[in-house]
Structure 1
Amino acid sequence: MGNQGRTISEETKKFILKLQQNEVTERMIYLNLAKRVKKQSEKETLQRIAEEEGMHCEIWASYTNQKLSPQKLRVWFYAIISFIFGYTFAIKIMEKGEKDVQYIYSKLALEVPEAKQILKDEEVHEQALIGLLDEERLQYVGSMVLGLNDALVELTGTLAGLSFALQNNKLVALSGLITGISATLSMASSEYLSARSEGNSDALKSSLYTGIMYIFAVVLLVLPYLLLPSDQFVSALMIMLVIVVAIIFSFTYYISVAKDLPFKKRFLEMAVISLSVAALSFGVGFLVKQFLGIDI
Protein backbone atom coordinates (compact mmCIF):
# COMPACT_ATOMS: atom_id res chain seq x y z
CA MET A 1 0.00 0.00 0.00
CA GLY A 2 1.55 3.35 -0.95
CA ASN A 3 0.90 6.91 0.07
CA GLN A 4 0.72 8.14 -3.54
CA GLY A 5 4.12 9.78 -3.36
CA ARG A 6 3.35 11.96 -0.38
CA THR A 7 6.07 12.12 2.25
CA ILE A 8 5.67 12.64 5.97
CA SER A 9 8.15 13.33 8.74
CA GLU A 10 9.28 10.62 11.13
CA GLU A 11 7.53 12.37 14.02
CA THR A 12 4.27 12.43 12.06
CA LYS A 13 4.70 8.76 11.17
CA LYS A 14 5.04 7.91 14.88
CA PHE A 15 1.80 9.78 15.62
CA ILE A 16 0.02 8.01 12.77
CA LEU A 17 1.22 4.60 13.94
CA LYS A 18 -0.28 5.29 17.38
CA LEU A 19 -3.56 6.40 15.82
CA GLN A 20 -3.59 3.40 13.48
CA GLN A 21 -3.05 1.04 16.42
CA ASN A 22 -5.82 2.77 18.34
CA GLU A 23 -8.26 2.59 15.42
CA VAL A 24 -7.67 -1.11 14.67
CA THR A 25 -8.04 -2.00 18.34
CA GLU A 26 -11.18 0.07 18.86
CA ARG A 27 -12.71 -1.45 15.73
CA MET A 28 -12.48 -4.85 17.37
CA ILE A 29 -13.80 -3.49 20.68
CA TYR A 30 -16.86 -1.96 18.98
CA LEU A 31 -17.55 -5.21 17.14
CA ASN A 32 -17.40 -7.11 20.45
CA LEU A 33 -19.72 -4.59 22.11
CA ALA A 34 -22.15 -4.88 19.18
CA LYS A 35 -22.49 -8.60 19.93
CA ARG A 36 -23.51 -7.86 23.52
CA VAL A 37 -26.17 -5.17 23.07
CA LYS A 38 -29.80 -6.22 22.71
CA LYS A 39 -31.33 -3.31 20.81
CA GLN A 40 -30.95 -3.66 17.05
CA SER A 41 -30.53 0.11 16.58
CA GLU A 42 -27.64 0.19 19.05
CA LYS A 43 -26.08 -2.90 17.48
CA GLU A 44 -26.19 -1.28 14.01
CA THR A 45 -24.70 1.97 15.34
CA LEU A 46 -21.77 0.17 16.93
CA GLN A 47 -21.20 -1.90 13.78
CA ARG A 48 -21.25 1.24 11.63
CA ILE A 49 -18.71 2.93 13.89
CA ALA A 50 -16.53 -0.19 13.72
CA GLU A 51 -16.65 -0.05 9.90
CA GLU A 52 -15.59 3.60 9.93
CA GLU A 53 -12.74 2.81 12.29
CA GLY A 54 -11.67 0.18 9.77
CA MET A 55 -11.66 2.76 6.96
CA HIS A 56 -9.55 5.08 9.11
CA CYS A 57 -7.09 2.21 9.60
CA GLU A 58 -6.72 1.88 5.83
CA ILE A 59 -6.03 5.60 5.47
CA TRP A 60 -3.34 5.53 8.16
CA ALA A 61 -1.88 2.35 6.68
CA SER A 62 -1.47 4.12 3.32
CA TYR A 63 1.00 6.44 5.08
CA THR A 64 2.75 3.95 7.37
CA ASN A 65 2.82 1.03 4.89
CA GLN A 66 2.22 -1.24 7.88
CA LYS A 67 -0.61 -3.58 8.82
CA LEU A 68 -1.28 -3.67 12.56
CA SER A 69 -3.24 -6.17 14.64
CA PRO A 70 -5.60 -5.29 17.50
CA GLN A 71 -4.08 -5.14 20.99
CA LYS A 72 -5.55 -8.32 22.41
CA LEU A 73 -5.03 -7.31 26.04
CA ARG A 74 -6.92 -4.06 25.52
CA VAL A 75 -9.75 -5.82 23.65
CA TRP A 76 -9.96 -8.37 26.45
CA PHE A 77 -9.93 -5.60 29.08
CA TYR A 78 -12.93 -3.81 27.54
CA ALA A 79 -14.76 -7.11 27.11
CA ILE A 80 -14.40 -7.75 30.85
CA ILE A 81 -15.30 -4.14 31.72
CA SER A 82 -18.45 -4.23 29.59
CA PHE A 83 -19.47 -7.57 31.09
CA ILE A 84 -19.08 -6.37 34.70
CA PHE A 85 -20.03 -2.70 34.47
CA GLY A 86 -22.02 -2.59 31.22
CA TYR A 87 -21.27 -1.31 27.74
CA THR A 88 -22.10 2.28 28.73
CA PHE A 89 -19.19 2.40 31.15
CA ALA A 90 -16.85 0.76 28.64
CA ILE A 91 -17.78 3.23 25.89
CA LYS A 92 -17.41 6.22 28.22
CA ILE A 93 -13.92 5.09 29.22
CA MET A 94 -13.00 4.77 25.54
CA GLU A 95 -14.51 8.17 24.83
CA LYS A 96 -12.21 9.74 27.41
CA GLY A 97 -9.26 8.17 25.62
CA GLU A 98 -10.38 9.61 22.30
CA LYS A 99 -10.55 13.10 23.78
CA ASP A 100 -6.92 12.73 24.85
CA VAL A 101 -5.75 12.11 21.25
CA GLN A 102 -7.98 14.51 19.33
CA TYR A 103 -5.52 17.40 19.68
CA ILE A 104 -3.06 15.37 17.56
CA TYR A 105 -5.32 15.59 14.50
CA SER A 106 -4.89 19.34 14.19
CA LYS A 107 -1.11 18.85 14.06
CA LEU A 108 -1.40 16.14 11.42
CA ALA A 109 -3.65 18.18 9.14
CA LEU A 110 -0.66 20.04 7.66
CA GLU A 111 0.89 16.83 6.32
CA VAL A 112 -2.13 14.53 6.18
CA PRO A 113 -5.21 16.16 4.56
CA GLU A 114 -7.44 13.21 5.56
CA ALA A 115 -6.86 14.00 9.25
CA LYS A 116 -9.57 16.70 9.20
CA GLN A 117 -12.20 14.29 7.91
CA ILE A 118 -11.19 11.59 10.38
CA LEU A 119 -11.49 14.12 13.21
CA LYS A 120 -15.01 14.96 12.02
CA ASP A 121 -15.84 11.25 11.97
CA GLU A 122 -14.59 10.87 15.54
CA GLU A 123 -16.78 13.78 16.67
CA VAL A 124 -19.78 12.17 14.94
CA HIS A 125 -18.91 8.93 16.74
CA GLU A 126 -19.10 10.71 20.07
CA GLN A 127 -22.52 12.17 19.32
CA ALA A 128 -23.83 8.83 18.05
CA LEU A 129 -22.57 7.04 21.14
CA ILE A 130 -24.12 9.57 23.49
CA GLY A 131 -27.41 9.13 21.66
CA LEU A 132 -27.47 5.34 21.98
CA LEU A 133 -26.53 5.04 25.66
CA ASP A 134 -29.75 3.79 27.21
CA GLU A 135 -28.57 0.78 29.19
CA GLU A 136 -31.13 -0.78 31.50
CA ARG A 137 -28.97 -0.89 34.60
CA LEU A 138 -28.38 2.87 34.42
CA GLN A 139 -32.12 3.45 34.59
CA TYR A 140 -31.95 2.05 38.12
CA VAL A 141 -28.98 4.04 39.38
CA GLY A 142 -31.21 5.70 41.97
CA SER A 143 -32.14 2.30 43.41
CA MET A 144 -28.52 1.16 43.33
CA VAL A 145 -27.33 4.29 45.14
CA LEU A 146 -30.11 3.94 47.71
CA GLY A 147 -29.18 0.33 48.48
CA LEU A 148 -25.45 0.95 48.62
CA ASN A 149 -25.60 4.18 50.63
CA ASP A 150 -27.95 2.73 53.20
CA ALA A 151 -25.92 -0.48 53.55
CA LEU A 152 -22.61 1.32 53.91
CA VAL A 153 -23.86 3.80 56.49
CA GLU A 154 -25.94 1.32 58.49
CA LEU A 155 -23.55 -1.67 58.37
CA THR A 156 -20.42 0.41 58.91
CA GLY A 157 -21.96 1.88 62.04
CA THR A 158 -23.35 -1.45 63.25
CA LEU A 159 -20.11 -3.39 62.76
CA ALA A 160 -17.98 -0.63 64.28
CA GLY A 161 -20.20 -0.47 67.37
CA LEU A 162 -20.35 -4.26 67.73
CA SER A 163 -16.58 -4.55 67.27
CA PHE A 164 -15.88 -2.86 70.60
CA ALA A 165 -19.02 -3.99 72.39
CA LEU A 166 -18.49 -7.70 71.61
CA GLN A 167 -14.73 -7.83 70.88
CA ASN A 168 -15.22 -11.16 69.12
CA ASN A 169 -15.08 -11.39 65.34
CA LYS A 170 -17.36 -14.41 65.08
CA LEU A 171 -20.06 -12.77 67.20
CA VAL A 172 -19.70 -9.52 65.23
CA ALA A 173 -19.97 -11.44 61.94
CA LEU A 174 -23.05 -13.33 63.15
CA SER A 175 -24.75 -10.15 64.35
CA GLY A 176 -23.73 -8.29 61.19
CA LEU A 177 -25.08 -10.96 58.86
CA ILE A 178 -28.39 -11.20 60.69
CA THR A 179 -28.73 -7.42 60.72
CA GLY A 180 -27.61 -7.10 57.09
CA ILE A 181 -29.90 -9.78 55.67
CA SER A 182 -32.88 -8.44 57.61
CA ALA A 183 -32.09 -4.90 56.47
CA THR A 184 -31.72 -6.10 52.84
CA LEU A 185 -35.19 -7.62 52.85
CA SER A 186 -36.62 -4.56 54.57
CA MET A 187 -34.95 -2.09 52.17
CA ALA A 188 -35.91 -4.09 49.05
CA SER A 189 -39.54 -4.41 50.12
CA SER A 190 -39.69 -0.70 51.03
CA GLU A 191 -38.30 0.23 47.62
CA TYR A 192 -40.86 -2.03 45.94
CA LEU A 193 -43.79 -0.48 47.83
CA SER A 194 -42.45 3.02 47.21
CA ALA A 195 -42.06 2.38 43.47
CA ARG A 196 -45.52 0.81 43.26
CA SER A 197 -47.12 3.77 45.02
CA GLU A 198 -45.53 6.05 42.40
CA GLY A 199 -47.05 3.95 39.61
CA ASN A 200 -43.72 2.50 38.50
CA SER A 201 -44.34 -0.59 36.38
CA ASP A 202 -40.78 -1.81 37.02
CA ALA A 203 -41.11 -1.75 40.80
CA LEU A 204 -39.83 -5.31 41.13
CA LYS A 205 -36.64 -4.60 39.16
CA SER A 206 -36.09 -1.44 41.16
CA SER A 207 -36.36 -3.35 44.44
CA LEU A 208 -34.05 -6.08 43.12
CA TYR A 209 -31.33 -3.59 42.24
CA THR A 210 -31.66 -2.06 45.71
CA GLY A 211 -31.49 -5.45 47.41
CA ILE A 212 -28.58 -6.71 45.31
CA MET A 213 -26.45 -3.67 46.08
CA TYR A 214 -27.34 -3.91 49.78
CA ILE A 215 -26.44 -7.61 50.15
CA PHE A 216 -23.29 -7.05 48.08
CA ALA A 217 -22.13 -4.46 50.62
CA VAL A 218 -23.14 -6.68 53.56
CA VAL A 219 -21.04 -9.62 52.34
CA LEU A 220 -17.92 -7.53 51.69
CA LEU A 221 -18.12 -5.67 55.01
CA VAL A 222 -18.65 -8.80 57.12
CA LEU A 223 -15.93 -10.78 55.30
CA PRO A 224 -12.96 -9.56 57.44
CA TYR A 225 -14.73 -10.68 60.62
CA LEU A 226 -15.27 -14.14 59.14
CA LEU A 227 -11.71 -14.58 57.91
CA LEU A 228 -9.66 -13.20 60.84
CA PRO A 229 -9.23 -14.90 64.23
CA SER A 230 -11.89 -14.08 66.82
CA ASP A 231 -9.68 -11.84 68.96
CA GLN A 232 -8.40 -9.63 66.11
CA PHE A 233 -11.46 -7.37 66.08
CA VAL A 234 -9.42 -4.16 65.68
CA SER A 235 -7.71 -5.53 62.54
CA ALA A 236 -11.08 -6.66 61.18
CA LEU A 237 -12.51 -3.20 61.83
CA MET A 238 -9.60 -1.49 60.03
CA ILE A 239 -9.89 -3.79 57.02
CA MET A 240 -13.65 -3.27 56.96
CA LEU A 241 -13.16 0.52 56.83
CA VAL A 242 -10.66 0.15 53.97
CA ILE A 243 -13.24 -1.96 52.11
CA VAL A 244 -15.87 0.74 52.72
CA VAL A 245 -13.65 3.42 51.18
CA ALA A 246 -12.78 1.10 48.25
CA ILE A 247 -16.48 0.38 47.56
CA ILE A 248 -17.34 4.07 47.73
CA PHE A 249 -14.45 4.96 45.42
CA SER A 250 -15.29 2.25 42.86
CA PHE A 251 -19.03 2.86 42.75
CA THR A 252 -18.70 6.66 42.72
CA TYR A 253 -16.20 6.43 39.87
CA TYR A 254 -18.53 4.11 37.96
CA ILE A 255 -21.48 6.48 38.35
CA SER A 256 -19.41 9.58 37.57
CA VAL A 257 -18.16 8.04 34.31
CA ALA A 258 -21.41 6.40 33.19
CA LYS A 259 -23.63 9.37 34.08
CA ASP A 260 -21.14 12.25 33.55
CA LEU A 261 -21.36 13.38 37.18
CA PRO A 262 -18.64 15.04 39.31
CA PHE A 263 -16.51 12.44 41.11
CA LYS A 264 -14.55 14.16 43.88
CA LYS A 265 -17.41 15.87 45.70
CA ARG A 266 -19.64 12.78 45.69
CA PHE A 267 -16.81 10.50 46.83
CA LEU A 268 -15.75 12.75 49.71
CA GLU A 269 -19.33 13.30 50.84
CA MET A 270 -20.14 9.58 50.97
CA ALA A 271 -16.80 8.62 52.54
CA VAL A 272 -17.03 11.26 55.28
CA ILE A 273 -20.59 10.24 56.18
CA SER A 274 -19.79 6.51 56.37
CA LEU A 275 -16.55 6.92 58.32
CA SER A 276 -18.12 9.47 60.69
CA VAL A 277 -20.97 7.10 61.47
CA ALA A 278 -18.41 4.34 62.09
CA ALA A 279 -16.46 6.53 64.51
CA LEU A 280 -19.60 7.57 66.41
CA SER A 281 -20.86 3.98 66.56
CA PHE A 282 -17.51 2.75 67.83
CA GLY A 283 -17.76 5.34 70.59
CA VAL A 284 -21.32 4.25 71.37
CA GLY A 285 -20.15 0.64 71.62
CA PHE A 286 -17.43 1.68 74.06
CA LEU A 287 -19.85 3.70 76.22
CA VAL A 288 -22.52 0.97 76.26
CA LYS A 289 -19.96 -1.63 77.29
CA GLN A 290 -18.62 0.61 80.09
CA PHE A 291 -21.93 1.80 81.51
CA LEU A 292 -23.71 -1.56 81.37
CA GLY A 293 -20.66 -3.41 82.58
CA ILE A 294 -21.22 -6.24 80.12
CA ASP A 295 -18.19 -8.43 79.48
CA ILE A 296 -18.58 -11.12 76.83
Structure 2
Amino acid sequence: MTTITAQQKEHLKVLQREEINGHFTYAKLAGVVKDANNAAVIKHISGEELKHYNVWKSYTGEDIKPNKFKINLYYWIAKILGLTFGIRLMEQGEEKVQVIYSKLLDDVPEAAQILADEEKHEDELMEMLDEESLRYAGSVVLGLNDALVELTGALAGLTFAFKDSRTIALAGLITGISASFSMAASDYLSNKADDDGKNPTRSAIYTGIAYLITVMLLILPFLILSNYMVSLVWTLLNAILVIALFNYYISVARGYNFKQRFFEMAAISMGVALFSFLLGNVISGWLGVKSS
Protein backbone atom coordinates (compact mmCIF):
# COMPACT_ATOMS: atom_id res chain seq x y z
CA MET A 1 0.00 0.00 0.00
CA THR A 2 1.34 3.41 -0.97
CA THR A 3 2.09 5.69 1.96
CA ILE A 4 0.19 8.97 1.76
CA THR A 5 0.69 12.26 3.55
CA ALA A 6 -1.91 13.91 5.77
CA GLN A 7 -2.70 16.43 3.02
CA GLN A 8 -3.14 13.68 0.43
CA LYS A 9 -5.48 11.88 2.83
CA GLU A 10 -7.67 14.99 3.01
CA HIS A 11 -7.71 15.17 -0.79
CA LEU A 12 -8.71 11.51 -0.98
CA LYS A 13 -11.52 12.07 1.50
CA VAL A 14 -12.91 14.79 -0.78
CA LEU A 15 -12.84 12.34 -3.70
CA GLN A 16 -14.34 9.64 -1.50
CA ARG A 17 -17.23 11.93 -0.59
CA GLU A 18 -17.85 12.78 -4.26
CA GLU A 19 -17.89 9.10 -5.20
CA ILE A 20 -20.38 8.05 -2.52
CA ASN A 21 -22.65 10.98 -3.36
CA GLY A 22 -22.42 10.06 -7.04
CA HIS A 23 -23.18 6.41 -6.27
CA PHE A 24 -26.43 7.17 -4.47
CA THR A 25 -27.48 9.97 -6.84
CA TYR A 26 -27.06 7.83 -9.97
CA ALA A 27 -28.80 4.90 -8.27
CA LYS A 28 -31.75 7.14 -7.49
CA LEU A 29 -31.84 8.67 -10.99
CA ALA A 30 -31.78 5.21 -12.60
CA GLY A 31 -35.18 4.58 -11.02
CA VAL A 32 -36.82 7.48 -12.92
CA VAL A 33 -35.36 6.71 -16.35
CA LYS A 34 -37.99 5.08 -18.57
CA ASP A 35 -35.61 3.71 -21.21
CA ALA A 36 -34.27 0.35 -19.98
CA ASN A 37 -30.90 0.70 -21.74
CA ASN A 38 -30.32 4.18 -20.34
CA ALA A 39 -31.31 3.02 -16.86
CA ALA A 40 -28.78 0.18 -17.17
CA VAL A 41 -26.02 2.64 -18.12
CA ILE A 42 -26.78 4.84 -15.10
CA LYS A 43 -26.90 1.82 -12.76
CA HIS A 44 -23.54 0.67 -14.10
CA ILE A 45 -22.03 4.10 -13.44
CA SER A 46 -23.53 4.04 -9.95
CA GLY A 47 -21.72 0.76 -9.31
CA GLU A 48 -18.45 2.16 -10.64
CA GLU A 49 -18.72 5.14 -8.31
CA LEU A 50 -19.06 2.74 -5.36
CA LYS A 51 -15.95 0.83 -6.48
CA HIS A 52 -14.01 4.08 -6.64
CA TYR A 53 -15.26 4.99 -3.17
CA ASN A 54 -13.91 1.70 -1.80
CA VAL A 55 -10.54 2.30 -3.46
CA TRP A 56 -10.19 5.67 -1.72
CA LYS A 57 -11.47 4.13 1.53
CA SER A 58 -8.60 1.64 1.42
CA TYR A 59 -6.24 4.63 1.65
CA THR A 60 -8.12 6.80 4.16
CA GLY A 61 -9.36 3.96 6.35
CA GLU A 62 -12.53 5.96 7.00
CA ASP A 63 -16.19 5.69 6.06
CA ILE A 64 -17.71 8.83 4.58
CA LYS A 65 -21.45 9.41 4.95
CA PRO A 66 -23.31 10.47 1.81
CA ASN A 67 -24.70 14.00 1.67
CA LYS A 68 -28.45 13.32 1.57
CA PHE A 69 -29.29 16.95 0.86
CA LYS A 70 -27.01 17.04 -2.18
CA ILE A 71 -28.31 13.70 -3.46
CA ASN A 72 -31.94 14.77 -3.14
CA LEU A 73 -31.15 18.18 -4.65
CA TYR A 74 -29.73 16.71 -7.86
CA TYR A 75 -32.52 14.13 -7.97
CA TRP A 76 -35.27 16.75 -7.86
CA ILE A 77 -33.42 19.05 -10.25
CA ALA A 78 -33.32 16.17 -12.73
CA LYS A 79 -37.00 15.35 -12.09
CA ILE A 80 -38.19 18.93 -12.54
CA LEU A 81 -35.76 20.39 -15.09
CA GLY A 82 -34.85 17.24 -16.97
CA LEU A 83 -32.36 14.41 -16.63
CA THR A 84 -29.93 16.03 -19.07
CA PHE A 85 -29.74 19.26 -17.09
CA GLY A 86 -29.48 17.47 -13.75
CA ILE A 87 -26.69 15.13 -14.83
CA ARG A 88 -24.72 17.83 -16.64
CA LEU A 89 -24.99 20.08 -13.59
CA MET A 90 -23.74 17.25 -11.42
CA GLU A 91 -20.90 16.50 -13.81
CA GLN A 92 -19.88 20.16 -13.73
CA GLY A 93 -19.52 19.83 -9.97
CA GLU A 94 -17.37 16.74 -10.41
CA GLU A 95 -15.06 18.59 -12.80
CA LYS A 96 -13.93 20.74 -9.87
CA VAL A 97 -12.25 17.73 -8.23
CA GLN A 98 -9.99 17.18 -11.24
CA VAL A 99 -7.56 19.64 -9.65
CA ILE A 100 -7.26 17.18 -6.78
CA TYR A 101 -6.61 14.31 -9.19
CA SER A 102 -3.72 16.26 -10.71
CA LYS A 103 -2.09 16.41 -7.27
CA LEU A 104 -2.43 12.65 -6.74
CA LEU A 105 -1.49 11.19 -10.13
CA ASP A 106 2.21 10.84 -9.31
CA ASP A 107 1.77 9.30 -5.85
CA VAL A 108 -1.44 7.25 -5.95
CA PRO A 109 -1.35 4.49 -8.61
CA GLU A 110 -5.14 4.13 -8.92
CA ALA A 111 -5.75 7.86 -9.49
CA ALA A 112 -5.02 7.79 -13.24
CA GLN A 113 -7.37 4.84 -13.91
CA ILE A 114 -10.20 6.28 -11.82
CA LEU A 115 -9.85 9.65 -13.55
CA ALA A 116 -10.06 7.85 -16.90
CA ASP A 117 -13.17 6.03 -15.67
CA GLU A 118 -14.79 9.34 -14.69
CA GLU A 119 -14.15 10.78 -18.15
CA LYS A 120 -15.57 7.61 -19.71
CA HIS A 121 -18.68 7.93 -17.54
CA GLU A 122 -19.25 11.47 -18.78
CA ASP A 123 -18.92 10.34 -22.41
CA GLU A 124 -21.40 7.51 -21.83
CA LEU A 125 -23.90 9.84 -20.21
CA MET A 126 -23.66 12.47 -22.93
CA GLU A 127 -24.14 9.86 -25.66
CA MET A 128 -27.15 8.47 -23.83
CA LEU A 129 -29.01 11.70 -23.12
CA ASP A 130 -31.52 12.78 -25.75
CA GLU A 131 -34.52 14.31 -24.05
CA GLU A 132 -37.54 15.62 -25.90
CA SER A 133 -37.28 18.95 -24.10
CA LEU A 134 -33.80 19.48 -25.58
CA ARG A 135 -34.68 18.15 -29.02
CA TYR A 136 -37.24 20.93 -29.14
CA ALA A 137 -35.00 23.51 -27.49
CA GLY A 138 -34.90 25.39 -30.79
CA SER A 139 -38.67 25.83 -30.62
CA VAL A 140 -38.45 27.15 -27.07
CA VAL A 141 -35.67 29.55 -28.13
CA LEU A 142 -37.87 30.73 -31.01
CA GLY A 143 -40.79 31.44 -28.69
CA LEU A 144 -38.67 33.14 -26.05
CA ASN A 145 -36.65 35.23 -28.46
CA ASP A 146 -39.66 36.51 -30.37
CA ALA A 147 -41.66 37.25 -27.22
CA LEU A 148 -38.75 39.02 -25.53
CA VAL A 149 -37.76 41.10 -28.54
CA GLU A 150 -41.20 41.87 -29.93
CA LEU A 151 -43.23 42.30 -26.74
CA THR A 152 -40.52 44.09 -24.74
CA GLY A 153 -40.25 46.55 -27.59
CA ALA A 154 -44.01 46.82 -27.97
CA LEU A 155 -44.55 47.43 -24.24
CA ALA A 156 -41.84 50.08 -24.21
CA GLY A 157 -43.50 51.85 -27.14
CA LEU A 158 -46.99 51.52 -25.63
CA THR A 159 -45.74 52.87 -22.31
CA PHE A 160 -44.90 56.25 -23.75
CA ALA A 161 -47.85 56.27 -26.13
CA PHE A 162 -50.58 55.50 -23.55
CA LYS A 163 -48.98 56.27 -20.17
CA ASP A 164 -51.59 54.13 -18.41
CA SER A 165 -50.76 50.73 -16.93
CA ARG A 166 -54.17 49.12 -17.55
CA THR A 167 -54.32 50.28 -21.16
CA ILE A 168 -50.74 49.11 -21.75
CA ALA A 169 -51.54 45.72 -20.16
CA LEU A 170 -54.67 45.31 -22.31
CA ALA A 171 -52.88 46.19 -25.53
CA GLY A 172 -49.93 44.01 -24.54
CA LEU A 173 -52.12 40.99 -23.77
CA ILE A 174 -53.99 41.26 -27.06
CA THR A 175 -50.74 41.65 -28.96
CA GLY A 176 -48.92 38.91 -27.04
CA ILE A 177 -51.66 36.25 -27.14
CA SER A 178 -52.32 36.84 -30.83
CA ALA A 179 -48.60 36.70 -31.58
CA SER A 180 -48.17 33.45 -29.63
CA PHE A 181 -50.78 31.68 -31.77
CA SER A 182 -49.30 33.19 -34.91
CA MET A 183 -45.79 32.10 -33.93
CA ALA A 184 -46.96 28.56 -33.07
CA ALA A 185 -48.75 28.28 -36.42
CA SER A 186 -45.67 29.52 -38.30
CA ASP A 187 -43.46 27.05 -36.45
CA TYR A 188 -45.87 24.21 -37.27
CA LEU A 189 -45.87 25.04 -40.99
CA SER A 190 -42.10 25.52 -41.02
CA ASN A 191 -41.37 22.14 -39.41
CA LYS A 192 -43.91 20.39 -41.61
CA ALA A 193 -42.23 21.79 -44.69
CA ASP A 194 -38.67 21.04 -43.51
CA ASP A 195 -39.43 17.43 -42.47
CA ASP A 196 -36.38 17.40 -40.16
CA GLY A 197 -37.65 14.62 -37.90
CA LYS A 198 -39.32 16.83 -35.31
CA ASN A 199 -43.02 16.49 -34.68
CA PRO A 200 -44.56 19.72 -36.10
CA THR A 201 -47.38 19.74 -33.54
CA ARG A 202 -45.09 19.31 -30.54
CA SER A 203 -42.69 21.90 -31.90
CA ALA A 204 -45.56 24.37 -32.31
CA ILE A 205 -46.78 23.67 -28.77
CA TYR A 206 -43.32 24.29 -27.29
CA THR A 207 -43.03 27.54 -29.25
CA GLY A 208 -46.50 28.75 -28.29
CA ILE A 209 -46.16 27.89 -24.61
CA ALA A 210 -42.72 29.53 -24.34
CA TYR A 211 -44.14 32.66 -25.99
CA LEU A 212 -47.22 32.76 -23.72
CA ILE A 213 -45.24 32.28 -20.50
CA THR A 214 -42.90 35.09 -21.50
CA VAL A 215 -45.86 37.31 -22.37
CA MET A 216 -47.41 36.83 -18.93
CA LEU A 217 -44.12 37.57 -17.13
CA LEU A 218 -43.60 40.74 -19.14
CA ILE A 219 -47.15 42.07 -18.72
CA LEU A 220 -47.53 41.12 -15.05
CA PRO A 221 -46.00 44.39 -13.71
CA PHE A 222 -48.57 46.49 -15.63
CA LEU A 223 -51.39 44.42 -14.08
CA ILE A 224 -50.06 44.87 -10.55
CA LEU A 225 -48.74 48.44 -10.49
CA SER A 226 -50.42 51.69 -11.46
CA ASN A 227 -47.18 53.58 -12.15
CA TYR A 228 -46.44 52.84 -15.79
CA MET A 229 -42.75 53.81 -15.63
CA VAL A 230 -42.07 51.57 -12.63
CA SER A 231 -43.99 48.82 -14.44
CA LEU A 232 -41.77 49.23 -17.49
CA VAL A 233 -38.59 48.99 -15.40
CA TRP A 234 -39.95 45.84 -13.72
CA THR A 235 -40.84 44.40 -17.12
CA LEU A 236 -37.31 44.99 -18.39
CA LEU A 237 -35.88 43.32 -15.27
CA ASN A 238 -38.22 40.36 -15.84
CA ALA A 239 -36.98 40.14 -19.42
CA ILE A 240 -33.34 40.07 -18.27
CA LEU A 241 -34.21 37.43 -15.64
CA VAL A 242 -35.91 35.22 -18.25
CA ILE A 243 -32.93 35.60 -20.57
CA ALA A 244 -30.50 34.73 -17.75
CA LEU A 245 -32.42 31.67 -16.51
CA PHE A 246 -33.07 30.22 -19.95
CA ASN A 247 -29.52 30.75 -21.17
CA TYR A 248 -28.12 29.21 -17.99
CA TYR A 249 -30.33 26.16 -18.52
CA ILE A 250 -29.29 25.79 -22.16
CA SER A 251 -25.61 26.48 -21.42
CA VAL A 252 -25.55 23.67 -18.85
CA ALA A 253 -27.69 21.22 -20.81
CA ARG A 254 -25.98 21.85 -24.15
CA GLY A 255 -22.54 22.93 -22.99
CA TYR A 256 -22.81 26.41 -24.53
CA ASN A 257 -21.05 29.60 -23.44
CA PHE A 258 -23.44 31.30 -21.01
CA LYS A 259 -21.98 34.81 -21.02
CA GLN A 260 -21.83 35.11 -24.79
CA ARG A 261 -25.40 33.93 -25.34
CA PHE A 262 -26.80 35.93 -22.41
CA PHE A 263 -25.22 39.27 -23.36
CA GLU A 264 -26.11 38.84 -27.03
CA MET A 265 -29.78 38.10 -26.29
CA ALA A 266 -30.02 40.79 -23.59
CA ALA A 267 -28.44 43.43 -25.84
CA ILE A 268 -30.89 42.69 -28.66
CA SER A 269 -33.96 42.73 -26.40
CA MET A 270 -32.97 45.88 -24.51
CA GLY A 271 -31.88 47.61 -27.73
CA VAL A 272 -35.25 46.98 -29.36
CA ALA A 273 -37.02 48.12 -26.17
CA LEU A 274 -35.09 51.39 -26.13
CA PHE A 275 -35.74 52.02 -29.81
CA SER A 276 -39.45 51.27 -29.39
CA PHE A 277 -39.69 53.54 -26.35
CA LEU A 278 -38.19 56.43 -28.33
CA LEU A 279 -40.36 55.59 -31.33
CA GLY A 280 -43.49 55.63 -29.16
CA ASN A 281 -42.51 59.06 -27.92
CA VAL A 282 -41.99 60.39 -31.44
CA ILE A 283 -45.17 58.88 -32.92
CA SER A 284 -47.41 59.92 -30.02
CA GLY A 285 -46.12 63.48 -30.36
CA TRP A 286 -46.49 63.44 -34.14
CA LEU A 287 -50.09 62.17 -33.99
CA GLY A 288 -50.95 64.40 -31.06
CA VAL A 289 -51.92 61.47 -28.82
CA LYS A 290 -52.01 62.47 -25.17
CA SER A 291 -52.45 60.33 -22.08
CA SER A 292 -55.69 60.65 -20.20
Q: Where on the TM-score scale, by shorter chain, does this alignment land: which range?
A: over 0.9
Q: Distance in 2 between matches of 1:172 and 1:65?
A: 67
Matched, 1:149 2:136: no
Question: What letter is aligned with 2:93?
Answer: G
The answer as to whether partners of 2:20 and 2:66 remain within 8 angstroms in 1 is yes
Matched, 1:255 2:250: yes
Residue 201 of structure 1 deviates from its aligned partner by: 5.8
Counterpart residue number, 1:174: 170
Counterpart residue number, 2:229: 234
SS across alignment from 1:36: coil
Q: Distance in 1 between matches of 2:114 and 2:77?
A: 27
Q: Tell which deviates more after alignment, 35-44 or 15-24.
A: 35-44
Q: Distance in 2 between matches of 1:123 and 1:63?
A: 22
Residue by residue, what CA displacement relative to the aligned partner does 1:98-117 show, whole Å, maximum 9, x if unpaired?
A: 22212322322344322222
Q: Tell which deviates more after alignment, 258-267 or 183-192.
A: 258-267
Cα separation, partners in 2 of 1:99 and 1:219, compared to 1, 3 Å? same
Counterpart residue number, 1:194: 190
Matches within 5 A, 1:11-22: 11-22=7-18
Normalised by the size of structure 2, how large is the TM-score? 0.93
Among candidates 201, 205, 217, match of residue 202 of structure 2: 205
The answer as to whether partners of 2:18 and 2:94 remain within 8 angstroms in 1 is no
Counterpart residue number, 1:82: 78
Cα separation, partners in 2 of 1:117 and 1:201, compared to 1, 3 Å? closer
Residue 88 of structure 1 deviates from its aligned partner by: 0.9
Structure 2 portions without partners, runs of 5+: none
Structure 1 portions without partners, runs of 5+: none
Q: Report the identity percentage.
A: 47
Matches within 5 A, 1:125-144: 125-144=121-140
Among candidates 111, 119, 122, match of residue 118 of structure 2: 122
Q: Distance in 1 between matches of 2:233 and 2:50?
A: 50
Q: Distance in 2 between matches of 1:89 and 1:201?
A: 21
Residue by residue, what CA displacement relative to the aligned partner does 1:237-259 show, whole Å, maximum 9, x if unpaired?
A: 11111111111122122222222
Superposed CA RMSD: 1.7
Among candidates 51, 60, 65, match of residue 64 of structure 1: 60
Q: Distance in 2 between matches of 1:201 and 1:87?
A: 20
Residue by residue, what CA displacement relative to the aligned partner does 1:61-94 show, whole Å, maximum 9, x if unpaired?
A: 2222222222122223212321332111122222
Q: Which runs of 4+ in 1 moved over 6 A?
A: none
